[in-house]
Amino acid sequence: MKIMNGSSFSQPRRRPIDKKLVYGSILFGVGWGIVGVCPGPALVYIAFLDKNFFCIYFSNVFRI
């Protein structure tokens, strides 16, 4: 497969769904559910030390 600049691109091989993938997905979902914030914006909030994010995070984690 060629991309716009002419270099080649190959599709990754399909791998079967294994326990590692399932457990990682569950951990990701539970973490997202506990914190209540998407992981992408959470990194931005942490990078800018947003005080509102930390209030939401700790209130959700400790159920205050």
Q: What is the pLDDT along the chain (64 residues), one digit of tens a residue?
A: 567 777 777 788 888 999 999 999 998 888 777 777 777 777 788 888 888 777 777 777 776 6
Predicted confidence at residue 26, as pLDDT, reads: 92
Predicted confidence at residue 20, as pLDDT, reads: 93
The 3-state DSSP class for residue 14 equals: coil
Predicted confidence at residue 64, as pLDDT, reads: 61
Predicted confidence at residue 45, as pLDDT, reads: 80
What whole-number distance in Å separates Cα of residue 15 and Cα of residue 31?
A: 25
Q: Which amino acid would we find at residue 8?
A: S
